[in-house]
Amino acid sequence: YWEEEVRVSITECLKHPSGVLTPVDVRKFGPEWFSVALGTLAVSINSLRLSSLFPLNLVTSAFFYLGLLVLLIVAVLWVLRAVVDSSVVQQDYFNVARLSFLPVLPLALLVALTVDIDSGNSLIPLPGSVYSLVYYASYAALFFLAVVLGVRILLHEVDPNSLTYAVLIPPVAVTATSFLGIPLREYFLSAISIGVGLMLFVFLGSAVVSVHIRESRNPARLTSSVLPVGVSSIIALSLLGVSQGGLIPEGLAFFTALVLVGFETWNFFVSIVTVALSFRKVKQQPLLLWALTFPVSTYSSASVELFSWYHHMLLLALSLVAYFTLIAMWVIATLLTLRSLVINGKRK
């Protein structure tokens, strides 16, 4: 009798692993969940940028290892999701929002390796060839995903409410490859990635603003308004990095970055106030808060990099405001996510 019961149980596990092995349906773990890992690693890289001024090395290491753990867990659940239901692959392609979040996986990996290499390979000692391999593979994958998104938008019908600034994630991710490319002295490819991010930001960003004005204002659209902060900040950081390779005069790079961060400052405060005023709606979808963490981190990092050149206390103050905002958002998003998982687990 017990032998038969065990056999039936194993058969059920193989048929429905999402319902038997876990208290939460793994089919809900789409690519947008990688933003949890990216948000955690964003705290790590932001702390590293500030560690030259403040004792944040321990914070950098703690969030680095925690981010890697979250990335591994989410990656396993994401793969298991496709195994349980293979139809989600096609569904994700036609879902513009989920397709836009797919590049977050290689982006999170790039951020993790950037933290490691900028820390002097003290966190996870790896051969230099590994960094180069991951950089080139991620660059190609992110550029490919940006092309896929463009084809998806142009060839198939798109729900206007799905056109938020989330569609800028693929070009933003391509531009962010410079985070790892600069330490590897890949200045030429980094310059190309700046062009991709800048021009797509101008054209896609304008289209999203137009749609936002015409269509209803849902929580996803409200919180996604902060994502341009990430675009301009990453372009600013990339310009500062490219100037090290002599492709652009250093003074011009810092001035251009200052102009971009000026726009960031306006957009940062507008977006944060908007999110705060719509928090009752936002807290129902914790992943929307996670999507804000990386852009806020890049804004703080760009501000402190400019402070190292101009030595203006306003830049340091803005960087710290963004950093503490990032920490607060991480804590709130973590609590809301755990609460959501517990509630869904009890229901199941």
Q: What is the pLDDT of residue 226?
A: 44
Lowest-confidence pick of 27-36, 220-229, 236-245 = 220-229
Q: What is the pLDDT of residue 216?
A: 54
Q: What percent of the chain has pLDDT over 70?
A: 83
Cα atoms found within 13 Å of the Cα of residue 221, Cβ hemisphere only: 17
Q: What is the pLDDT of residue 218?
A: 54
From start to end of the chain, where are the E strands?
A: none
Those residues with Cβ within 8 angstroms of residue 224's Cβ, 6 or more apart along the chain or in another chain: 164, 165, 166, 288, 291
DSSP 215: S
Amino acid symbol at 266? W
In angstroms, the CA 292 to CA 272 distance is 9
Q: What is the pLDDT of residue 289?
A: 85
Q: What is the pLDDT of residue 8?
A: 45
Tell me the pLDDT tens digit for each residue of 300-324: 999 999 999 999 999 999 999 999 9
Q: What is the pLDDT of residue 2?
A: 47
Q: Look at residue 6 and tell me whether its pLDDT is greater than 70.
A: no
Q: Which two tokens stand for residue 321?
A: 């405001």
Q: Do the Cβ atoms of 198 and 235 come closer than 8 Å?
A: yes
Q: Look at residue 274 and tell me whether its pLDDT is greater than 90.
A: no
Q: Which two tokens stand for residue 275?
A: 């999110």
Residue 216, SS3 per DSSP = coil
Q: What is the pLDDT of residue 86?
A: 82
**Nearest alpha carbon to residue 172 among 226, 119, 214, 112:** 226
Q: Which two tokens stand for residue 19?
A: 């319902």
Tell me the pLDDT tens digit for each residue of 212-234: 666 655 555 554 444 556 788 88
Q: Which two tokens stand for residue 104?
A: 């977050």
- Rg (alpha carbons) of the chain, rounded to whole number: 21
Q: What is the pLDDT of residue 174?
A: 87
In angstroms, the CA 324 to CA 321 distance is 5
DSSP 32: G
pTM: 0.85
Tell me the pLDDT tens digit for each residue of 50-98: 998 999 999 999 999 999 999 999 999 999 988 888 888 888 877 887 8
The mean pLDDT value of the chain amounts to: 83
First to last CA, the chain: 28
Give, to the nearest 10 degrees, the angle between helix 34-50 and helix 313-347.
150
Question: 216: alpha, beta or left, given left = phi > 0 and alpha = psi -120 to 50?
Answer: beta
Q: Look at residue 3 and tell me whether its pLDDT is greater than 60.
A: no
Q: Look at residue 277 and tell me whether its pLDDT is greater than 90.
A: no
Q: Look at residue 7 and tell me whether its pLDDT is greater than 90.
A: no
